Structure 1
Amino acid sequence: MARAVSLLLLLSIFYIAGTSSAYSRPSSSYIQKSCKATTFPAVCLQTLSAYSSKIQQSPQNLALTALSVSLSRAQYAKGFVSKMTKFKGLKRREYQAIKDCVEEMDDTVDRLSKAAQELQRLSGFRGDEFLFHMSNVQTYVSAALTDENTCFDGFAGRALNGKLKSSIRAQVVKVSQVTSNALALVNQLAATH
């Protein structure tokens, strides 16, 4: 179920990206203004501007698009890290750290999928129901961010240095940045109600 929703979200994003051009929509200023409140504003603007025609001036569309971008990056990172387990000559500790990271990235994908599903349903809720579902979204995205950080914990220390560690770190950092931004935009949406 989560994979089907993830695929649907990704296809929607790719369609929207193909039909919109960055910075040419009036909503780009809305995105730019909203991204200023994120931890990584340049990354936020870079990753969301292509979707300005879908986002328009909607805080919910902005947060949902940010979650979709984060989900897409998490799925890519999960695949990337999974491929690392096939490297020849891995030390036992390296293999275990990579395997643990794959599990954490799998959890990230699952939590971001759930957050996106919950966020899509928000427009039908008001008052306490809205707050309950918004809290669920915030919890899922926060947990995904924790999973991403935990992924890299297994690579701590000098025993796991080198290209392998650097490659995985680069992928996880990309996911963490967009997830952090998505959480900030979700929090902005929560603050508007």
Structure 2
Amino acid sequence: MKNAITEMKSLDIYVNSLSVKQYEEIKGSLVSDNRARVNMLSFDIHLQNYNFLCEESSLQQDIFSLQNLAKKFTWKSNIEQILSKNSFEALILTDIDRNILWVNDGFSKMTGYPKNYAIRKTPNFLQGNATSDTVRSRIRKKLALGNPFKEVIINHKKDKTQYKCEIHIFPLKDNDEVTHFLALERQIA
């Protein structure tokens, strides 16, 4: 049975790589083993559920980390609501001077930089020649206003590849005074 499953996986990978025309030409010669098909379908369902659980666990870990920081800095913002109502890949927390204090695991996945590399730097290290000075200036002005905002900027990964990054910045306040910024970031096409 183990060889049959291995053969089915290999066949599945091969068939998925075919064009529709190529598949139509060979589909009559494919032999179906319903037992292996049921096992593969069950595995697919399990894998989808596993990926969902991993993403949910990662979100809960991010919420937990930021809620602990919220207690320390006495922010009034609802961190859980911010994270659950907005899409993001990476989270960056900075102080009022834009020095990075914390990033999530998604930051490393998106940028290629290790988490500890980003700490105590400003997000400027992600910018390069393709980053617009106009957009940088607009971001600085919006930060000074102290309101949430979205912007799109060209950033650079560790391997120097450029990517369009949508940032959604939330000022975090203590007694109506902005003390930190939380950036929710995601790569866009």
TM over 0.5: no
TM-score by length of 2: 0.29
Indicate the structure with greater helix content: 1
Which of structures 1 and 2 has the larger relative contact order (alpha carbons within 8 angstroms, sep 6+)? Answer: 1
Which is greater in Rg?
Answer: 2
